[in-house]
Chains A and B, each alone.
Chain A
Amino acid sequence: MKVLVADDDDNFRNLVIAILTEDGYEVAAEVNGRLAWENLQANGADMAVLDINMPEMDGFELLRHIRTDGRFKDMPVLMLTIRAFAEDQVTGYDTGADDYLTKPFANDVFLSRIKVLERRILKK
């Protein structure tokens, strides 16, 4: 199961990579939305974990690209962000996010939410 991670914050990105790889996930990580989009188009992924505030292309724009591309329109996406305002969460869900978790987060809850998304993939 391959997870695309996009986050410009080194600490959070490395933490997410560590949690996922320790649990057996293959991870492709990028530091901004543009690089993540290029990586996804070139290499694909089963699900994505996206930060919102990123340089060059933010998480919402990246999510719009994902949802309007036939190859990835059903790919589970979890937004992982410091932006806790209701408006941001609504924008995330309305743009097509499957889940939205705010930083800082509990590692076990994050991993369980990833497993919920994985379960949805395996159900199909």
Chain B
Amino acid sequence: MIEFALWLATPDRVLADKWYRLFSRERLSVAPIADLSRLANIRQDTWGIAFVEVCRDCLPTPKDLKSFLNGRKNISVIAFSAPGKTSNADISEFLENGADDFITSDIDEKVLLSKTKAHIRRLLPNLNLARTTVTSANGDIEIDRVKRSIRLGLLSGKVKTLDALTPKEFEIFLMLLSDEEHVVTRKLLMEDIWRDKCGHVNPETVDKHVETLRHKLGTYGKAIRTVYGSGYVYKSK
């Protein structure tokens, strides 16, 4: 079985903790490492992305990156540094010596997550997290996040497309179905869907959107269950 992991190599404990929490929340396996050499003997059936800070201890030069990669296909390296700390010429060097991306440590968390998922899609297109379509556990509903379409009734063969959802209702349904049988908190829904405006949104606004979503989903809406004081969970089985 193929395993997938993310590794974080940075001396900055605060940043490591922040990104660790971010990725863990998405149920990704994350592990801090001191430097790339820790991955030298990793098994060939373990795939992953290493976020490595450009610094003396973790990744001093582009040559170090090149010698580490040396034909490896199962590890993708995303180099990073504090904003302004690495020159454009050096960024180019890292990219041309094997880094799959170069980011700055102040990157917006949602951008980092979307970017990471894009890398995962490329590395392992069949991994659930990265797929462009999300299917309910019972196989009856499919959401396509690229086409932004929802198909209901796949099991019965009487498939119908649901196109009456607003963008926010679509996002809520996608989050619930992507994490089926786990509680998705109101706080997480507000942060991920209302983003910069989440400070101006009440939990009641989320509840109203979920209520409308349930209504529009008809019988499928009953699978959205309220977890009092916390949020919502989707259970198709």
Contacts and interface: CB of A to CB of B under 8 A. Distances in A.
A70 B147 CA distance: 13
A116 B111 contact: no
A42 interface: no
Interface residues of A, number: 26
A97 B118 contact: yes
A123 interface: yes
B182 interface: no
A109 interface: yes
Category for how many chain B residues contact A: 20 to 34
A111 B108 CA distance: 24
Contact of B111 (A90, A95, A111, A123): A90
B230 interface: no
Interface in B7-54: none
Contacts of B92: 108-109, 111-112
A95 B144 CA distance: 10
Contact of A68 (B89, B147, B196): B147
Interface in A67-102: 67-68, 86-87, 89-90, 92-100
Contacts of A109: 88, 91-92, 95, 102
B195 interface: yes
A98 B114 CA distance: 10
B145 interface: yes
A87 B89 contact: no
Given A68-B146, A106-B88, A116-B101, A96 B122 contact: no
Contacts of A96: 118, 132, 146
Contact of A90 (B88, B95, B100, B114): B114
B122 A115 contact: no
A123 B195 contact: no
Contact of B110 (A64, A90, A97, A99): A90
28 contacts: A64-B147, A68-B146, A68-B147, A86-B195, A87-B195, A87-B196, A89-B108, A89-B111, A89-B114, A93-B111, A93-B115, A93-B118, A94-B117, A94-B146, A95-B146, A96-B132, A97-B118, A98-B118, A99-B101, A106-B88, A108-B92, A109-B88, A112-B91, A112-B92, A116-B99, A116-B100, A120-B122, A123-B73
Interface of B: 73, 88-89, 91-92, 95-96, 99-102, 108, 110-111, 114-115, 117-118, 122, 132, 145-147, 195-196
